[in-house]
Chains A and B, each alone.
Chain A
Amino acid sequence: MSLEILLALLAATVQAGTPILYATLGEILTEKGGVLNLGVEGMMLVGALAGFLTALHTGSPALAFMAGGLAGAGMAALHGVVCIWFQGNQTVSGLALTIFGTGLAGFFGTPYVGRTAPGFDKFSLPVLGDIPLVGDIFFQQDALVYVSYLIPPLMWAFFRYTRWGLGVRAAGESPAATRAAGLNVLGFRWAALLCGGVLVGFGGSYLSLAYTHLWTNGLSSGRGWIAVALVIFAFWRPSRAMLGAYLFGGVMAFQLRLQAMGTALPSSILLMLPYVLTIAALAFSSWRSQRTEAPAALGVNVEPSE
């Protein structure tokens, strides 16, 4: 394989990994606060549609990206109403949210299938884009990819060095102790859930605004679930989320390239790759970690105080 093809493949890897990265980071933030949200797949789809429709009607990709994040937060708020306010089972509510979101995106998106909308185009970052190899892979992408590079270090610093980060972690590890310390547990849970929803919505709108520029039903095709798996693979650490997202981006880019080149392998076998890899990655990381790295109160509702 020549260097040029390899570089193109690696650049495509970063692009394919970006929506998964946004979604994984969003779910990490959510779960750190103790709320398990399995609605990621549905939220991504709704985010993708909101982004697409906004771009189509306003012509502004930046506004569209924001709309995608807002839609993600809106979906997350539904989950919050059911689980944080009304004490519903988080696993079931998340599944219901995925079914609801998939329906919502299909319902409002069907008239637009096949339409294209303005989105983000690639441009080379000054200086960084000229670095050989690294520049070709990482710095000749679209603006949303560059934004996504900033989030993992910011999130890491947030959890490690800020009081609010500590509050979110405490709400996820031990809600009772957090409350006893006079902190607003539900406030932290809500904040993590909504901000996580924004990131997941960003991931969705990346799909329609930068990855395809075009609307099709079922655009996310399991990426939301892969993101949920990657949170476990990443041991709830933003840096490892990057590794995982690009690993999957690589598989998706590679599989597309193989299909385009026309191999003897049927497309259905190639399409299985990311899903089989998800199972393998999950099994491997679950087996390797001696103790569970999950926030201790993940998925456990906080009972209303007397």
Chain B
Amino acid sequence: MPVLSAVRRQEPLGWGSCLVFLAALALAFTVSGTLLAVQGKPALQALWLLVESAFGSRYALEDCLIKAVPIFLCSLGVGLTFRLQVWNIGAEGQFALGAVGATWAALTFPGWPWYALLPFMLLCASATGGLWGAIPALLRLKLRANEIIVTLMLNYVGILILDFLVYGVWKDPASFGFPMTSEFVPAAVVARIGDTRLNWGLLLCLAVGVLMSVFLRSTRLGFELRACGENVRAARYARMPYAFLVVLVMVVSGALAGWAGFLEASATLGRLQPSIMSGYGYTAIVVAWLANLNPLVIAVASFLLAGVRVGMETLQLDLQVPAAFGGIMEGSILLAVLAGGFFSRYRLHLRRAA
């Protein structure tokens, strides 16, 4: 009887990988659609509505770009740590701390002109976000504490710090008891580009993305980072600064997530409130892996998963699909793509059993 067996591919699959990727996406959509049908929703109509309301109009596309900004910044950061085999799952908490740092600056120095205040807010967000990334890095290096768990726990702590502030000392006395800070002064709000609803944070993303690509591709440190990610022992043997790199990527990653928090508080909400936490930090992890950690592809994937979020809002309103459906889609897409990776690395062939 012939049996199916897997053999490692000698040549990379090339364009075939795209086919595998599309098949995985189709599988994830099928699973999600089936679950919708189980819940008694019109599956095909809902999935079509999701795509159409995400990418079907200029207004929707703007929404996608707005939501893609924080996902992209967080994802670029966590993707950087993943390259070094350092597992920063803490973008969510670093995002929260960044928003807190920026808000502190905005509330403390409302009299400053925008050209001083905005850079200072950015700096504060980098400091607080970076600190939230540095803690797990140091615990890992000094005590060998698992960074996956430390970053995750710091997510919960970070969100609770944010809650503590907006429910307490920072609560706007004029908010009728709602947990939110008072509105930022105009100088603390990142301006919009022309007559669109997009803000200049988009330009920041572009700059960071280009810088990151250049850093990884053509600097010595970027090369060392990739080398350490491939084989830590060999890299240490070659006297590459492993410990320094761990701290560096975690601080940079934390700072980038912090910037995302800054932009959300300043440009999108204009104040700090608990609803700022909407899981961008977790979506960022999905994005990073879908994009194979490549900065350029991360940009595309951020936009697409931002689209899922935008489409979900319509699905919630029109078909009363719970928001958690977005998690089902993200999770099933990533699971399917991970499994699909097998076909890029192995080929199956039939052979006769001995």
Interface residues of A (CB under 8 A from B): 38, 42, 78, 81-82, 85-89, 91-93, 95-110, 217, 222, 225, 228-229, 232, 266, 268-269, 271-272, 275-276, 278-279, 282-283, 286-287, 292, 303-306
Contact A286 B144 (CB under 8 A): yes
> Within 8 Å of chain A (Cβ to Cβ): is B110?
no
Q: Which residues of B sit under 8 angstroms from A98, Cβ to Cβ?
A: 331
Interface residues of B (CB under 8 A from A): 5-8, 35, 39, 87, 89, 139, 142-146, 148-150, 152-154, 156-157, 160-161, 163-164, 167-168, 282, 285-286, 289, 321-332, 334-335, 338-342, 345-346
Question: Please, how many angstroms separate the alpha-carbon atoms of A179 and B39 in the complex?
Answer: 44
Q: Report the minimum CB–CB distance from B89 to chain A (whole Å).
A: 7
Q: Taking CB as reference atom, which chain B residue is nearest A81?
A: B339
Q: Report the minimum CB–CB distance from A149 to chain B (whole Å).
A: 27
Majority secondary structure, B binding face: helix
Q: Taking CB as reference atom, which chain A residue is nearest B335?
A: A96
Contact A283 B139 (CB under 8 A): yes
Give which listed residue, A97, A229, A292, contacts B153 with CB less than 8 A.
Answer: A229
Contact B338 A96 (CB under 8 A): yes
Contact B167 A266 (CB under 8 A): yes
Q: Taking CB as reference atom, which chain A residue is nearest B333?
A: A96
Q: Which residues of A sit under 8 angstroms from B154, Cβ to Cβ?
A: 275, 279
Q: Report the minimum CB–CB distance from A224 to chain B (whole Å).
A: 10
Contact B325 A103 (CB under 8 A): yes
Contact A99 B35 (CB under 8 A): no
Question: Please, how many angstroms separate the alpha-carbon atoms of A256 and B252 in the complex?
Answer: 37
Q: Report the minimum CB–CB distance from B292 to chain A (whole Å).
A: 11
- Given known contacts A99-B286, A106-B322, A268-B160, A282 and B149 CB-to-CB distance under 8 angstroms: yes
Q: Taking CB as reference atom, which chain A residue is nearest B283?
A: A99
Contact A100 B153 (CB under 8 A): no
Nearest 4 interchain pairs by C-beta: A103-B327, A100-B331, A106-B324, A88-B338
- Given known contacts A229-B146, A282-B145, A107 and B324 CB-to-CB distance under 8 angstroms: yes
Contact A92 B145 (CB under 8 A): no
Q: Report the minimum CB–CB distance from A207 to chain B (whole Å).
A: 17
What are 24 A-B contacts with C-beta separation under 8 Å? A86-B339, A87-B341, A87-B345, A88-B339, A89-B289, A95-B285, A96-B286, A96-B334, A96-B335, A101-B331, A103-B327, A103-B328, A104-B35, A106-B327, A107-B321, A107-B327, A222-B152, A268-B161, A272-B157, A279-B145, A283-B139, A292-B144, A303-B8, A304-B346
Contact B328 A107 (CB under 8 A): yes
Q: Taking CB as reference atom, which chain B residue is nearest A225?
A: B152
Q: Which residues of B sit under 8 angstroms from A88, Cβ to Cβ?
A: 335, 338-339, 341-342
- Given known contacts A87-B345, A105-B324, A232 and B153 CB-to-CB distance under 8 angstroms: no
Q: Which residues of A sit under 8 angstroms from B326, Cβ to Cβ?
A: 103
Contact A286 B325 (CB under 8 A): no
Q: Which residues of B sit under 8 angstroms from A92, Cβ to Cβ?
A: 289, 334, 338
Contact B160 A229 (CB under 8 A): no
Q: Report the minimum CB–CB distance from B218 to chain A (whole Å).
A: 27
- Given known contacts A87-B345, A276-B157, A306-B7, A103 and B167 CB-to-CB distance under 8 angstroms: no
Q: Which residues of A sit under 8 angstroms from B341, Cβ to Cβ?
A: 86-88
Give which listed residue, A87, A229, A269, A275, contacts B164 with CB less than 8 A.
Answer: A269
Q: Taking CB as reference atom, which chain A residue is nearest B323?
A: A106
Q: Which residues of B sit under 8 angstroms from A286, Cβ to Cβ?
A: 143-146
Question: Please, how many angstroms separate the alpha-carbon atoms of A100 and B324 in the complex?
Answer: 9
Q: Report the minimum CB–CB distance from A275 to chain B (whole Å).
A: 4
Give which listed residue, B156, B164, B331, B338, contacts A89 with CB less than 8 A.
Answer: B338
Contact A232 B346 (CB under 8 A): no
